[in-house]
Structure 1
Amino acid sequence: MRAKDIMSSPVHTVSQTAPVEAAAALMTAKSVTALPVVDDDGRLVGMVSESDLLWHRVPSDPTAQLRPRPDTDPADRPGMVMEVMATYPLATRPDMDVADVAEAMLEHDVRSLPVLDDGAVVGIVSRRDILRAMVRTDAALAAEVQHRLDEYSDGGSRWTVAVEAGVVTVTGDYDDETEQAVVMVLARTVPGVAAVRTGQPSAS
């Protein structure tokens, strides 16, 4: 399973020169926790999260106002996204294995990764996207894999699909190794599939 199979697309992005309030409003409206930040050419230049936007925005305890601090002065608060965003953001590619995407998220303690194709932001993968793909039932996986294989064989039922603990087993005959490889690729593209097993191609 690849990043492109589970990513959200199109992506909600925000300009690096947008006001912090505009980014916060977009996050709220779209129910997301982070936004890719782009420049005037649409290229990724950063990521901004809820915590970034909250920085310097949440009022201090009223008792703390008895001891004024320069960093609580509204005039000193960051006004544009570029002032609060994380620069040099971690990103991934559409063909990246989801297991590698999850490992990168955990290693760098991020909750979402923008997906880049030739430098353009084409999607975003969140931890929730990965979890949603992983918790599909075996029955749901079997039904979707079977449907894709039946479509590939022009509506026939050349192969039978069984799934246990996310592992797909495809039984049936194959014309050659190329057809077997195609069947395996089709099965792997179904979100939630952990591995695919097949038999051997028929003897010619």
Structure 2
Amino acid sequence: MRAKDIMSSPVHTVEPGAPVEDAAALMAARAVTALPVVDGSGHLVGIVSEGDLLWRRVPADPTAQLSRRPAAPAIRPGQVAEVMSRSPITTRPDADLAEVAETMLMYDVRSMPVLDNDVLVGIVSRRDILRAMVRTDETLVREVQHRLDEYARGRWTATVHQGAATVSGAFTDSTEREIAAVLARTVPGVADVRIEPS
């Protein structure tokens, strides 16, 4: 499975000069945890997360023990540019989902913008990955079979066990076997594909 199979698109974005209140309101309205920050030309220049907004907006309790993070600024920032991360970790549409998840964990990020030749085409969150991973075999087999039937109705049959799909049937050549594998692999939640010619 690839990033493009589960990414959210189109992407809700915000500009660097937008008020932080607008970014917070957009996150709440769209139920997202981060917003890519784009300039006037649509180029990605940063990312702002819920954590960026909360850390710099909620006043610290002066009687509390020292936290792991530095103290929030005394003057509350007003624009997204003042709180955003300027070097966002990004991925590609064709990146393997396991690679995306590993990168998120390595850099402790919860969302990754998806760039295609430097153009923002989507965003992947940890929630997107979890949602794709917890789909039942029954759901997966229905979706795999639907895709197979659209291409070769009745010739190929799908089964799914613990996220691994098996496609069996009559294949005219290796190209058809590869097509069947690709069709099955594009279903979010399919972890592996095996082809069994009859």
Q: Which residue of 1 aligns with 2:61?
A: 61
Q: TM-score scaled to structure 1, two decimals?
A: 0.89
Identity of aligned residues (%): 67
Larger Rg: 1
Equivalent pairs counted in the alignment come to 192
Local SS of the residue matching 1:14: coil
Q: Is the 8 A contact 2:59 2:72 kept in 1?
A: no
Structure 1 Cα separation of the partners of residues 25 and 31 of structure 2: 10
Q: Which moved more, 1:53-62 or 1:102-111?
A: 53-62
Paired with 1:148 and 1:170, the residues of 2 have a C-alpha distance of 12
The C-alpha deviation readout for 1:77-122, integer Å capped at 9, x for no partner, is 2221111111111011111111111111011100010111121211
Note the C-alpha offset of 1:136: 0.7
Aligned CA RMSD, in angstroms, stands at 1.8
Query: CA offset at residue 62 of structure 1?
Result: 7.5
Question: Which shows bigger deviation, 189-198 or 78-87?
Answer: 78-87
Counterpart AA for 1:195: D
Over 3 Å counting, the alpha-carbon distance change for 1:197 and 1:62 in structure 2 is closer
SS for the counterpart of 2:35 is strand
1:110 aligned residue: 109
Query: Cα 1:71–1:116, aligned 2, differ >3 Å: closer, same or farther?
Result: closer
- Pick closer, same or farther for the CA change 1:186–1:58 going to 2, 3 Å: same
Gap change, CA 1:91 and 1:70, over 3 Å in 2: closer
Alpha-carbon displacement from aligned partner over 1:113-133 (angstroms, at most 9, x marks no partner): 011112121111001100111
- Asked if structure 1 preserves the Cα contact closer than 8 Å seen for 2:8 and 2:123, the reply is yes
The answer on 1:18 being equivalent to 2:18 is yes
SS in 2 for 1:199: strand
Indicate which of 162, 166, 169 corresponds to 1:165.
162
Q: Which runs of 5+ in 2 are unaligned?
A: 65-70
Distance 1:179 1:56, change over 3 A: closer
Q: Partners of 1:95 and 1:170 in 2: how far apart?
A: 23
SS in 2 for 1:16: coil
Matching of residues 14-163 of structure 1 within 5 Å: 14-61=14-61, 71-72=73-74, 76-153=75-152, 156-163=153-160
Looking at structure 2, the residues matched to 22 and 94 of structure 1 have their Cα atoms a distance apart, in angstroms, of: 28
Give the secondary structure class of the aligned counterpart of 2:175: helix
The gaps in structure 1 that reach 5 residues or longer are none
The CA distance in 2 between the partners of 1:80 and 1:162, in whole Å, is 52
